[in-house]
Amino acid sequence: MTDVQELNDPAQAPADAAAMCRIVEEVPGVRLADLLAALTDPAALQHTYGQIVEAVTTAAHSLD
């Protein structure tokens, strides 16, 4: 099983980009939220995050 197959239910993904950043930032020294804030605005970030979750979910279903 691949990681993509484990995420065939979007409810398993972090609820939003901020939640994803909190998880990633559990790694010492990682400041993903700061990086993303410097690159884009919060609305665009959330929109893109939603598209990524949708794409990963679709890919996971195609592997079944």
Answer whether residue 19 shows pLDDT above 50: yes
Cα angle 1-45-35, degrees, rounded to a multiple of 5: 90
- Lowest mean pLDDT, pick from 4-8, 30-34, 59-63: 4-8
7 versus 50: the higher-pLDDT residue is 50
Write the pLDDT tens digit of every residue in 33-62. Answer: 999 999 999 999 999 999 998 888 888 777
Q: List CB contacts of 1: < 8 A, sequence separation 6 or more.
A: none
Q: What is the model's pTM?
A: 0.73
